[in-house]
Amino acid sequence: MKMKQLTALVLAGMMILPAAAVTADDSAVEAIKAKGKVVMTTNAEFEPFEFKDGDEIVGIDKEIAEKIAEKLGVELEITDIAFDSLIPSLNAGKADFIAAGMTATDERRKNVDFSDDYFNASQTIIVAADSDIAGREDLDGKVVGVQQGTTGDIYCTNEDGSGDINVKEVKRYPKGMDAVSDLMTGRVDAVVIDDFPAQKLVEKNPDKIKTLDEAMTEETYAIAVPLGSDLVDVINEVIKDLNESGEMDKIVGKYISTEEE
């Protein structure tokens, strides 16, 4: 850039600097309050955490997000995009937070800040009802379907360096549901996905597919904000309140029925 242009930009920058711009830069919370809305981004292909009921996005994460909006005293807006676009979109300023059953991993922590954990999860295997595959070891040499960019993908491709698993091929799908469709037509031997979404997928086709008992990973879900965003404090307060009041259990209970019940 030429010096003159640079000077012009600096001057232009100084001219728009007063009050509003300064607060918006410093405090995401102030900017959100000024806008009157908070934007959550998600991938609504992950029942029971976020999925579509007609045109509406519903689920556990959506309900937590509503509480966040309530706490801020603003409206909630939701955008629904591909899972592996969530972090880039957040960091492009298109959303204020990600609530997407997202596992808080160290790799992701390089690009986002995570709230406190709000849910424990693990990767689970789904296979055809009559499959011989009984656990992780049986996946050796098999074709496995995953949702692109998820921890299931990272685990099966050994990108996490765990070296736990040695499959022949990992097929990546935009939606977990697409992987399950291919499982039912025999194009993949197994699907690896988070435990509760796995349960929901199997509930829709109980005579064709089943989940295996083995929990392959230990993961915790958290809400992501841009690095340094003060919104994380508000989100943590909401999570704490929901846990202490028993409201979190109520929300989860609406979508997940445990066997004991």
| Contact positions vs ligand ARG (CB under 6 A) | 42-43, 45-46, 50, 83, 100-103, 147, 150-151, 194
The distance of closest approach from Cβ of residue 101 to ligand ARG in the complex, given in angstroms and rounded to an integer, is 4
Nearest to residue 60, comparing CAs of 244, 247, 231, 234? 247
The distance of closest approach from Cβ of residue 175 to ligand ARG in the complex, given in angstroms and rounded to an integer, is 8
**Of 60 and 188, which CB lies nearer to ligand ARG in the complex structure?**
60
Q: How does DSSP assign 124-171, residue by residue?
A: EEEEETT----SGGGGTT-EEEEETTSHHHHHHTTTTS------SEEE
**Of 51 and 229, which CB lies nearer to ligand ARG in the complex structure?**
51
**Residue 246 exposed, middle or buried by CB count within 10 Å (0-12, 13-18, 19+):** exposed
**Of 103 and 229, which CB lies nearer to ligand ARG in the complex structure?**
103
- Provide CB contacts within 8 A for 75, sequence distance 6+: 36, 37, 38, 69
The distance of closest approach from Cβ of residue 250 to ligand ARG in the complex, given in angstroms and rounded to an integer, is 21
The distance of closest approach from Cβ of residue 53 to ligand ARG in the complex, given in angstroms and rounded to an integer, is 15
**Of 29 and 217, which CB lies nearer to ligand ARG in the complex structure?**
217
The distance of closest approach from Cβ of residue 63 to ligand ARG in the complex, given in angstroms and rounded to an integer, is 14
> Is 216 in contact with 123 (CB distance < 8 Å)?
yes
Nearest to residue 132, comparing CAs of 191, 189, 181, 86? 189
Task: Supply 21's token pair.
Answer: 């711009």
- Cα Rg of the chain (Å, integer): 21
**Of 31 and 167, which CB lies nearer to ligand ARG in the complex structure?**
167
Q: 50: helix, coil or strand?
A: strand
Task: Supply 137's token pair.
Answer: 């070891």
**Of 50 and 96, which CB lies nearer to ligand ARG in the complex structure?**
50
- Provide CB contacts within 8 A for 147, sequence distance 6+: 45, 83, 153, 172, 173, 174, 175, 176, 179, 193
The distance of closest approach from Cβ of residue 106 to ligand ARG in the complex, given in angstroms and rounded to an integer, is 13
The distance of closest approach from Cβ of residue 152 to ligand ARG in the complex, given in angstroms and rounded to an integer, is 7
106: number of Cβ within 10 Å: 7
**Of 124 and 150, which CB lies nearer to ligand ARG in the complex structure?**
150
